Structure 1
Amino acid sequence: MRLNVPLLPLLFQYRLQVALSTKTYFQPDEFWQALEPAHRLVYGYGYLTWEWKDGLRSIAHPMVFSAVYWVSELLGLGDAGLIYGPKVLQALFAAIADYSLYKFASKCYGDEISRLTLMCSVTSAFNFFVSIRTFSNSLEMTLLICALNYWPLDKTAGQVNMLNYSIALVLGAVACVLRPTNALIWFYLGAALVIRVRSFKIVAVAGAVGTIILTLNALVDMWYYKHLTFPLYNFLKFNIVESLSSFYGVNRQLYYIVEALPQLLTVYLPFFFHGIYMSRSSTLAQASVFVVFVYSLISHKEVRFIFPLLPIFHLFAAISLHRLRILARPKLKWTFLVLLSLMNCPLALYASTTHQRGVMDVTSYIRTTPSIDSVGFLMPCHSTPWMSHMHRPDINAWFLTCEPPRGLSRSELATYRDEADQFYDDPALFLRTHFPPLRANDTQLTKFRYDWPSHLVVFGVLEEFLVSYAGDEYAECQRFFNSHFHEDPRRRGDVVVFCKHSN
């Protein structure tokens, strides 16, 4: 029996409620690589990270959200459109991913597995937490599962529906524009299809579609950068040739197996492993293993890099659940499924409403407090959103930067410390070096990188130091709970705002 409800609107309502109730911070790229460039594109001010200065990013993804800002301005929605507009659009993308996953599972495996797959998707703690965030990975996930609905998978032999195939190629090519590494799964699926069908035509169509999408993207990026720029080439050069992505962290070889997959799947992890083993002869299972394997060879690893594969992982978990004998007993079936699903709720709700919410609250405070005329963030770089949430062209705002080492010798690379690192190595020395004396007169304010602002923002771990260093000039004026714990010791404690006494 099929679900007899208007499924897509229902899923959109669910994801929208999640998006609007999410008050926490996860990772910087949600803002700094999506909303901040979009905000600058529309409003003309803000901060662009080094990736945009060096042309490593395509403007294609931020343009999606710049359209939201333009519409918001057209309708006069003000701060509501600025803050909630991108959330509404991303909730729609997340709902489309859920719906496409259900349709894909139904087409490939039937109604029972499709319902179980949808259950895994909508009750997934990680999906709850991340799918409604404005990462390029989130839209990449939506495009991937939409494309798979049109892709000729294992049952295809001989004739390929070229219209569906072309639609899948377009969606897949756009996903690759957003995240070049999405090409890994399409490389495997495409190679398997060519081997199975043995048709030059499908290779030619793939080449034509890829050329068209890449050309259109190049034109868009040329318009944005004002000169011919190839972000894909620059991205691969930085991450693969120069191998500088390791500057942002190096993880062990088995990171995706022992850390990322448990985070992604939580209670569904054992069912995923069982399901992918059961499906080991399928091209989709093999492609998933291939992608995770290749990602494991790269030094810098993040859980969200394989997040676009989560719908596929949920499908394999559902295949396993379908085979459980307990589900054949009606009295036990729903009890088991409900309990399994509810196990995700505490983690999902805590991560979305509590953990790291202070760094979001402080930007709202700055946006809505007219008396703030300057603000500095003595925090690890990109600890908060920026003008996409503060939206204050009238204030002088700064933060500690963390530019990667470019053009340095090997000996220089070994000792390189970015600005945020230098501050945390010796906060007092950094302030003496880069700030004027606290009681300096106007003639002494010309040779320093920073001025003392009207408001300073720090994590609680630095509160005692700042009181001892600048307590005569600054006093606490606001405090926001941020987290009960944090893996980064520099980010522990509340978010504390210090105001200059004259303010």
Structure 2
Amino acid sequence: MRFNVPLFPLLFQYRLQIALTTKTYFQPDEFWQALEPAHELVYGYGYLTWEWKEALRSIAHPVVFATVYWFSELLRLGDTGVIYGPKVLQALFAAIADYSVYKFAQKYYGDEISKLTLMCTVTSAFNYFVSIRTFSNSLEMTLLICALNYWPLDKTAGQVNMLNYSIALVLAAIACVLRPTNILIWSYLGVALTIRQRSFKIVALAGAIGTIILSLNALVDIWYYQRLTFPLYNFLKFNVVESLSSFYGVNRQVYYIVEALPQLLTVYVPFFFHGIYISRSTTLAQSCIFVVFVYSLISHKEVRFIFPLLPIFHVFAAISLCRLRILSRPKLKWTFLALLSLLNVPLALYVSTTHQRGVVDVTFYIRTTPSIESVGFLMPCHSTPWMSHMHRPDITAWFLTCEPPRGLSHSELTTYRDEADQFYDDPELFLRMHFPAVRGNETDVSRFRYDWPSHLVVFGALEELLTSYVGHAYVECKRFFNSHVHEDPRRRGDVVVFCKQND
């Protein structure tokens, strides 16, 4: 699959502009499970969440961004390379996904549907918002649609091209290394292909390539963790055997149908449902239905989990749009498509430049303010990026943690409260128990979990309570707009920075 010179640079420029102008926060994994481990690996400082201490995650994805940091150091780009290097690389991945889904639709469905697919892809509000973020799901999406360009689907007649099939297997195996759940769609496609071709060679090649990729990944993880460990096994044990993923939230079974798909597709959702109904007899449509069904059986659900399927969903939406009678009339066609696309624009711009931007802006302030010696975040855990954005080895920084319960009985699990929960249950009690007096003569501060830092960061929802507790010991020194509304009451209001006053 060769890049079309006129189209691909335009797509890359488009995604790069989005990446460089996105100033907001979506979910913690973008930073804490990708950039933070990479930053710690290269620079030797940062914070590794409990998943890394328990070896639940492969270092494969963070190594991608660690490479960016290494090159940044080699070229002496400083903070610019640390902050913008990963954005440039992720924009490249997003552009590859855009181009790949266009070529995929063109190969299997023709020019008209491929153009409509590209329109859906580049105007998708959710794609605009997430594809340029450093989630493993985002790279998983790129690998998935690239692999499908080489995969022998229903419309591929005759003998399987083994070279293309091998390329698809390599890309699919890497995607499964990044996110083990990616095996769902590839197992369905693989079984369907095996039944259709009835060839042992297909199964043997899949097994061989899968074994090679998993072995190489195991060597990388052993090098990183400095011990024999298998993150894939640990991941499955935690999420499936122990079912502790439910600690991070439980959703109703129809979540993906009534919540996730409308979030992913916005104005294109009715066309998607129509398109997948039209295509219901194809292996591709059936594999998507299978993946969503299996994910629906798992207690903990997130829209990101099915995000890698979004390019395929756009293909189905394009199939539906192509059937609309209104598109047979040129004047109405372009008016309708333009209005449909433009409906995504306000939402895309708002969530990328405005909603939850304060939690990112505050890290820029910390990075560029030399007078900050230490900083504490009295917020729900992982509310901001960390050293991958602050990039300051000279300061002491802490935040309220939210480690999941391990080794507890069922009755203990039902009453478990992590540190952030304990703080918000009774903030004043927590401060009295875990901090010395704000202005006092404590002789043994080591018996407290925390000491008062030079700067405190809180959400506006906690501002009045904190001001009452600390009195004149701290004063507001900076404020950043964060959101107009927020579904989590703890995160409502501006992000406020308090500075400690000298005695």
Q: Is TM > 0.5 for Structure 1 vs Structure 2?
A: yes
Deviation string 1:261-315 (CA, Å, 9 cap, x unpaired) is 0000000000000000000011000000000000000000000000000000000
For 1:33, the equivalent position in structure 2 comes to 33
Q: Does 1:277 align with 2:277?
A: yes
Rounded to whole Å, the distance in 2 between the matches of 1:444 and 1:226 is: 37
Q: Would the alpha carbon gap of residues 122 and 293 (structure 1) be closer, same or farther in structure 2, given more than 3 Å must change?
A: same
Letter in structure 2 aligned against 1:236: L
State the shift of 1:155 in Å: 2.2
Question: Runs of at least 4 residues of structure 1 off by over 4 A?
Answer: none
For 2:65, the equivalent position in structure 1 comes to 65
Rounded to whole Å, the distance in 2 between the matches of 1:16 and 1:41 is: 26
Rounded to whole Å, the distance in 1 between the matches of 2:189 and 2:95 is: 25
Q: Does 1:19 align with 2:39?
A: no
Q: Would the alpha carbon gap of residues 461 and 184 (structure 1) be closer, same or farther in structure 2, given more than 3 Å must change?
A: same
Structure 2 gap ranges (5+): none
Q: Would the alpha carbon gap of residues 4 and 418 (structure 1) be closer, same or farther in structure 2, given more than 3 Å must change?
A: closer
Rounded to whole Å, the distance in 1 between the matches of 2:155 and 2:376 is: 59
Contact kept in structure 2, 1:250 and 1:299, CA below 8 Å: yes
For 1:216, the equivalent position in structure 2 comes to 216
Letter in structure 2 aligned against 1:196: R
Rounded to whole Å, the distance in 2 between the matches of 1:6 and 1:233 is: 44
For 1:464, the equivalent position in structure 2 comes to 464
State the shift of 1:441 in Å: 2.7
Rounded to whole Å, the distance in 2 between the matches of 1:289 and 1:412 is: 37
State the shift of 1:442 in Å: 5.4
Q: Show the 5 A alignment for 1:432-443.
A: 432-441=432-441, 443=443
Contact kept in structure 1, 2:436 and 2:442, CA below 8 Å: no
- SS in structure 2 at match of 1:365: helix
- SS in structure 1 at match of 2:443: helix
State the shift of 1:158 in Å: 4.7
Deviation string 1:237-263 (CA, Å, 9 cap, x unpaired) is 000000000000000010000000000
For 1:10, the equivalent position in structure 2 comes to 10
State the shift of 1:446 in Å: 1.8
For 1:197, the equivalent position in structure 2 comes to 197
For 2:265, the equivalent position in structure 1 comes to 265
Rounded to whole Å, the distance in 1 between the matches of 2:77 and 2:17 is: 19
For 1:177, the equivalent position in structure 2 comes to 177
State the shift of 1:159 in Å: 1.4
State the shift of 1:443 in Å: 1.5
For 1:135, the equivalent position in structure 2 comes to 135
Q: Would the alpha carbon gap of residues 470 and 92 (structure 1) be closer, same or farther in structure 2, given more than 3 Å must change?
A: same
For 2:372, the equivalent position in structure 1 comes to 372
Rounded to whole Å, the distance in 2 between the matches of 1:155 and 1:314 is: 19
State the shift of 1:4 in Å: 8.4
State the shift of 1:412 in Å: 1.2
Contact kept in structure 2, 1:120 and 1:341, CA below 8 Å: yes
- SS in structure 2 at match of 1:446: helix
Contact kept in structure 2, 1:157 and 1:196, CA below 8 Å: no
For 1:315, the equivalent position in structure 2 comes to 315
For 1:242, the equivalent position in structure 2 comes to 242
RMSD between aligned alpha carbons? Answer: 1.0
Contact kept in structure 2, 1:364 and 1:389, CA below 8 Å: yes
Rounded to whole Å, the distance in 2 between the matches of 1:141 and 1:315 is: 14
Contact kept in structure 2, 1:158 and 1:197, CA below 8 Å: no
Rounded to whole Å, the distance in 2 between the matches of 1:441 and 1:390 is: 32
For 1:416, the equivalent position in structure 2 comes to 416
Rounded to whole Å, the distance in 2 between the matches of 1:123 and 1:234 is: 38
Deviation string 1:458-490 (CA, Å, 9 cap, x unpaired) is 000000000100022111110000000000000
- SS in structure 2 at match of 1:227: coil
Letter in structure 2 aligned against 1:111: D
State the shift of 1:75 in Å: 0.6
For 2:477, the equivalent position in structure 1 comes to 477
Letter in structure 2 aligned against 1:436: P
